[in-house]
Homo-oligomer: A and B are copies of this chain.
Amino acid sequence: VASERAEIEAEIDESPRRRSTTLTRDDIIEAARRIVALVGVDGLTMRRLADDLGVTPMAAYHYFTSKEQLLDAVGALVVREARDADRGAALLSWDERIRSNAHTTFHALTAYPGLATFLLDRPISRDLRATPGISVEEFEQAGFSRDEAQLAHATFHTYVFGLVSMETRFRPLKRGRKPDSDAILINVGVDEFIDYGIDVLIAGIRAQRSHPS
């Protein structure tokens, strides 16, 4: 088996990722995901994608009508993975689930530079709607009125995406180094900042509920 492997590898040493049979939709999404993780959305070109797959630039167009739709699929995959990584929080209270989802969504999307801002310019998908980690219906079950549930849900959605889309600005916080002049100035780490923001939102939503205008 070892010699067989070596033989194959020698044969294909110039085509980076050879698939066994024919190209599939998932092959393309996976290759695109790898490239985005490596060089960001701006670094993904249909020609580089084709090179990595060992095909011609036009091959992907048999599975996706445009580059935008391919990136939509990559975005849906990443967001779905973030949601799955959050399954352990399913039984917690709504506030703890939101906190957990904010962290996982942030760390998932920041691994793919430019993906969050790409998604922000696109129509919202069902996958994206699940982003705050809690649905409108679940807010209602937690005792919110229909209007309050929608408002609270949209507010969390807005904040979490605001958080994610400013990823580059939080980068200097991740290391212990002194802040760059172009960074947001906070003396704490990213996770502490996320916790603070979530605490603020949770406390604020509770206060809005008990003191209706």
The listed residue (B114, B157, B207) touching A203 by CB distance below 8 A is B207
Contact B136 A185 (CB under 8 A): yes
* Contact digits for A30-59, partner B, Cβ 8 Å, 1 yes 0 no: 000000000000000000000000000000
Looking at chain A's contact residues, the main secondary structure is helix
Decide if A184 touches B124 in the complex (CB within 8 Å): yes
Given contacts A151-B188, A162-B165, 11 further A-B contacts (CB under 8 A): A117-B120, A117-B165, A121-B168, A147-B187, A155-B196, A157-B166, A159-B162, A165-B165, A199-B208, A200-B204, A203-B208
**Is A161 located at the chain interface by the 8 A CB criterion?**
yes
Chain B CB within 8 A of A141 CB: no
> Which residues of A come within 8 Å of B, CB atoms?
114, 117, 120-121, 123-125, 136, 147, 150-151, 154-155, 157-163, 165-166, 168-169, 180, 182-188, 193, 196-197, 199-208, 211, 213
Query: Do A207 and B207 form a contact, CB below 8 Å, given A120-B165, A124-B184, A184-B154?
Result: yes
Closest to A210 in B: B203
- 6 closest A-B pairs by beta carbon, nearest first, are A162-B162, A204-B204, A200-B204, A123-B182, A203-B207, A203-B204
28 sample A-B contacts, Cβ–Cβ < 8 Å, listed by A number: A117-B121, A120-B165, A123-B168, A123-B169, A123-B182, A124-B182, A124-B184, A125-B182, A150-B187, A151-B186, A151-B193, A154-B185, A155-B193, A157-B184, A158-B159, A158-B166, A158-B197, A159-B162, A161-B165, A162-B162, A162-B163, A165-B165, A196-B208, A200-B204, A200-B205, A202-B204, A203-B204, A203-B207
A213 cross-chain contacts in B, Cβ below 8 A: 199
Structural contact, B124 and A185, CB atoms closer than 8 A: no
Contacts of A202 in B (CB 8 A): 204
List B contacts of A125 (CB < 8 A). Answer: 182
Which of B150, B162, B200 interacts with A185 by CB under 8 Å?
Answer: B150
